[in-house]
Every structure is written in structure tokens, then in C-alpha cells.
Amino acid sequence: MPILREIEVRYTFKEIDCDVTGKALDNPKRTHEVFSFLRFEPKEKFIVVNLSNQNTIMSYETVASGTVNSVSLRPAEVLRTAIIINAPAIVLVHNHPSGIVNPSKADIAFTKVVIDAAKLLSIDVLDHIIIGESDFYSLKQHGDM
């Protein structure tokens, strides 16, 4: 007899003393300020920030950790939580442990794949911020999205 797996997805709300949730990410500098802790990470980390209609942070999730110069993930992993919590928009954030913030061709290509997938689900990808040692790079500001 074959076994069928049933998946139940639940999410809960908790009141926590946190300086991130509820803040508006209305510009790339603000996103850099909120996630500047990534500049100390020795490996690449990829974070998805789920936003409300007012662009306030509903939640954020580290969806992948990689090596010193790369991270591997699928668009489905990027969009999973936004779908579950019905977030209308997301911002992508990752770090470059080298300190150099210029995006790689892979960074730009992956962003475009995520944007295309998100459009099908009516989720707006507002920006992709790369955080380096002392600076940041906004793919939106530089026309790379």
C-alpha cells in the first residue's frame, strides 16, 4: 500500500521585543541599516524580507547559507514564506564576505528568475540588496532588475 504524505502548514504570531519587525523598508539605505549585521558573516547568507502593503517588515528568513563566495538556492525557497503568510512584496538581501558589493552575473540572473516567478504569484520583488564590509549595492537603484 503506498503512503501519502499530508502536509499541514501553520504560522503563529508572537509579540517579541525586536528592532526589525514593523519597520518600513522604503529605501535601499534603510534596508542596509536593518541588515548591516550581515557584513560580519564569514559565508554568504541569503535573506528574504516579507513585507506588508505598507512595506513594513512582516518577517524575514535566512533561506540559504553558502560558502565564502557563493550560495545556492531555488526560487521556490525564496518565495515559500511569502506565499504562506500572504506577503504582497519581498526584498532580497545577501552579503558578500569579500566586502566587494558589485553583483555577479549569477546574482543578477537569479534575481530576474525570482522576479519572473514572483510575478506569477502577484508578489512584488522591490529590491535586491548586496551587503559588503562597509557599503551596499541596490540592484534596483543601479538598473539591474
Write out pLDDT tens, residues 60-74.
999 999 888 888 899
Cell of 111: 534575481
Cα–Cα distance, 125 to 43 (Å, whole number):
24
Side-chain half-sphere CA neighbours of 79 within 13 A: 20
Assess if residue 143 is contained within a domain.
Answer: no
Assess if residue 111 is contained within a domain.
Answer: yes
Grade residue 115 by pLDDT with cuts at 50, 70 and 90: very high
Assess if residue 15 is contained within a domain.
Answer: no
* Amino acid (one-letter) located at 68: V
Give the H or E element holding residue 27: none
Assess if residue 9 is contained within a domain.
Answer: no
Grade residue 12 by pLDDT with cuts at 50, 70 and 90: low
Cα–Cα distance, 118 to 78 (Å, whole number):
9
Distance of CA 52 to the CA centre of its chain: 14
Assess if residue 107 is contained within a domain.
Answer: yes
Assess if residue 58 is contained within a domain.
Answer: yes
Assess if residue 16 is contained within a domain.
Answer: no
Contact call for residues 48 and 61 (beta carbons, < 8 A): yes
Q: What is the pLDDT of residue 21?
A: 67
Q: What is the CATH number of the domain that holds 95?
A: 3.40.140.10
pTM comes to: 0.88
Angle (CA) 11 16 84, round 5°: 20
Q: What is the pLDDT of residue 47?
A: 95
In this predicted model, what pLDDT tens digit does every residue of 29-56 receive, in sequence order?
Answer: 999 988 999 999 999 999 999 999 999 9
Range of the structural domain that residue 46 is part of: 28-138
Count of the separate structural domains present in the chain: 1
> 59 φ, ψ to 5°?
-170, 165
Cα–Cα distance, 92 to 2 (Å, whole number):
40
22-31, 73-82, 122-131: segment of lowest average pLDDT: 22-31
Assess if residue 19 is contained within a domain.
Answer: no
